[in-house]
Amino acid sequence: MNLPTVFNHPPGPAELNELDVLDDGSVALKRERASVAFGFRACGLPFSAETRLTDTGPVLQIAADIGGDPYTADGVEMREAVHAVIRSSHTSPSCRLMVSKQKHIYCVGKAHLSETWTPTALLTVAAELVLEARPYLMVLRDILPRWAKPHRLISATSLRA
């Protein structure tokens, strides 16, 4: 191949400047470009996921709007059962259920990522967070009459876990 032929090829896409090739040959986003947001469905709910950089390193946060907190008029037993499941989820180390000030039930989770996380590692961590909350979500699905109505995707960082 002669030298002019090499220089006639256009440079690679600009996105290549946002990637690092690691020692093991895998590819990761450069540290300064480590903010990624995506959505997915799990357990019949729309989840949002976002990465952000903290003082302790990159973290992934997920969130899903489960629905409204049942009123006492919906049934005292149902409300007590829902709140018992929510309280029980607080023993989970990384992903739990919570009730917002607006009386909505959310599933929120947060996990630390390695400094050189890959897209595969990101999806794996998101799946692990959902699996941690899954038993609680399945019990809530059986209790709540309005389970899995379509809700808008919420920002995972708007609900600090």
Predicted pLDDT of residue 70: 85
Whether the per-residue pLDDT at 153 is higher than 80: the answer is no
| φ, ψ dihedrals at 104, nearest 5° | -110, 145
Q: How far apart are CA 106 and CA 153, in angstroms?
A: 11
Predicted pLDDT of residue 9: 53
Report which of 65, 42, 38 is spatially closest to residue 159, judged by C-alpha positions. Answer: 65
Cβ within 8 Å of residue 66, ≥6 positions away: 45, 97, 104, 105, 106, 107, 137, 140, 144, 147
Whether the per-residue pLDDT at 73 is higher than 90: the answer is no
Report which of 140, 80, 139, 86 is spatially closest to residue 108, judged by C-alpha positions. Answer: 86
Tens of pLDDT, residue by residue over 5-55, are 545 555 555 555 566 677 787 776 665 555 889 999 999 899 999 999 888
Tens of pLDDT, residue by residue over 98-150, are 999 999 999 999 999 987 788 888 999 999 999 999 999 999 998 887 654 44
**Domain span holding position 32:** 3-158
Q: What is the pTM of this model?
A: 0.71
Tens of pLDDT, residue by residue over 74-99, are 788 888 999 999 999 999 999 999 99
Number of domains comprising the chain:
1
Cβ within 8 Å of residue 20, ≥6 positions away: 27, 28, 29, 30, 116
Predicted pLDDT of residue 54: 86
Read off the CATH number of the domain in which 100 is found: 3.30.1460
Q: How far apart are CA 117 and CA 42, in angstroms?
A: 22
Where on the phi/psi map is residue 67: left (φ > 0), alpha (ψ -120 to 50), or beta?
left
